Structure 1
Amino acid sequence: MKKFKVSYSYPLEHPIKVVIEKLSRLGLLGWLMQKYGKDVNVKDLVISERIIELPLFHQWVGKFFLKLEGTFLEIGHVASSTSLELASLGFDVTAIDLRDYPFTHKNLKSIKSDFLKHEFNRKFDCIFSLSTIEHFGFSKRYGGEDEADNHLDEAAFKKISELLAPGGKAIVSFPYAKTFVPDIWFRVYTRNDVESKLERYFQIEESRFYRRDDNEWTIVTRRDNDPVSPHDGAALFLLKGK
C-alpha cells in the first residue's frame, strides 16, 4: 500500500513529514490533530532528503556568492522556500514551476510555465533544482504530462548549461539507487547513469551521495554502499558549464 507523506506543521519542503498510511477520514483527522498541536508518535515521522539538500545547497552558494550579487534561477519552486529566502536576502531571483506560487517579493520573479518550453532571454549566475528534474516526463500529478520512454531530463540538463552565464554554477539533486528501478512515478538514477548524463554538459566540481537507514541520513563514500531502495538515496552535484 502506498504511503502518503504530508508536511507536519511546516511548509512542504520541511524535512520532517507525517506518513499517512492511506487516504481516509481517520487519516485526515490524525493529520489535523498532529498539525494543530497534538502529540506526534516519532514512529510516524519521516526524515526526507531535504535534511541534507538544503544545508548543502546553502553551503555551496555561500562559497561563490559572498556578496549579495548574482542572478539565480530555481526550477521547481512551488514546494520550496529557497527562492523566497534568496530574494529576501537581496539576490535577483527567477523561479519557474508548472503550478501557482502564492508568495510575492520585489526580488523574485515567479513564472508559471514549462521550463523546457519557456524563453528566458537571459542567463543566470546560478541555476538550481532540488529533487525536481527526476519528475520531468512524469509530471501529470503536478499539472504536466506523463510521457513513456522520455529523455526530458537530458533536455533539462542541456538547457541549464545553455542558460548559465560565463563562470556560472548549477546545483542539482536527484534520488539514486544501486541499480535501475523501473515502473516508479519518478526517475531514479544509478550513480554511473547520472554522472554520465551530467558530464555531457557540465564539469562536475563536487558530488555528494547519501543514504537513509532507520530514518537517519549518512554520507556514502563507497559505491558498494549505495542504497537499494529508490526512496532512500540522494545525490547532489555542484556543476560548472563547459
Structure 2
Amino acid sequence: MQSTNSFYLFNSRIATHVVFWVLYYLLFGLIWVGEEGYLASFYLEFVLLPIRILAVYITIYFLLPHFLLKRKFKEFLIGYGATMLLGGIMQRVFIHMFYEELLLNDSSTGLFSIMMLVRAIILINTTALLVLGIKLFQLWSIEHDKNRSLESEILEIRSNRKTHRVPLRNVLFVEGLGNYVTYHLEDKSKITSYGSIKGTLQQLPDNFRRVHKSYIVNKEYIKSYDAMSIDIQDNSIPRGKSISDEVLLN
C-alpha cells in the first residue's frame, strides 16, 4: 500500500513544502516582472507570499478535512469564499502600503479599488485551487491504493470444520454473541465462527470499526446513520452512545 510519505520529496513534508513555495516564489517573480524591473517584482512577491501561504493552508488543513471531505459542501463554499475575500483584502492592503506607496510612491489607484481587489482574490484563488487539486489527488491516490489492496485481501474463517476464504470487501458487518461471531456478507449469507468480537476486530483492517459492544461494521457500506443506529443494506445496526461521527467517517 502506498504511504503518505511517498508523495513528498526526501519523504519529508516540510522539505516538500519549502521547495514548492521557493519555486512558486521564483516563478511568479519572473512572470509578473514589469516596467519596474525584477527587483520590484520579487519584492512584491515576497511581501504577498505569506498571505497566499496562509490562504492555502487554511483551505487544505482546515476547510478540506472539516467540510469538503465530510461532504458539507455549503459550509466549505462559505468558508472558502470568506478565506478568499479576507486574503484578497489583506493582499490589497499589503500592495498599497508596501509596494505602491513605499516603493513606487504612487497611491493614485486607491486602497480598495474594486478591480484591484478582484484581481487579488483571483490570484489567491488560483494558488489555493492549484494546491487543493494536488492535495485531493494525493488523497484519491492513497484511497485508490487502499481499495485495491482490500480487494486482494482474503479473510479465513473457521466454521463447521471448514475454512471459508472470504474477500474482506464482501464483509458488511460482524455480530458478536457470547463466544461466537457471525460474519454478514454482501450476498446476504452468514458465517458463524467461534471467537470474540474484540479478537475479530484485531484481525480486520482499518475500514472496519467497532460501533457497539457486539458489532463491527465495514464503514464502506454505511448507507445512513443517526445517534442510535447505522444502516447497512437492509440491516439496522445499534450504535453505541460513545461512538462519534469521526469513528464512522475517518
TM-score (norm 2): 0.22
Question: Which one has more relative contact order, counting CA pairs under 8 Å at least 6 apart?
Answer: 1
The structure that is strand-richer by fraction is: 1
Q: Which has the higher helix share?
A: 2
Q: Which has the larger radius of gyration?
A: 2
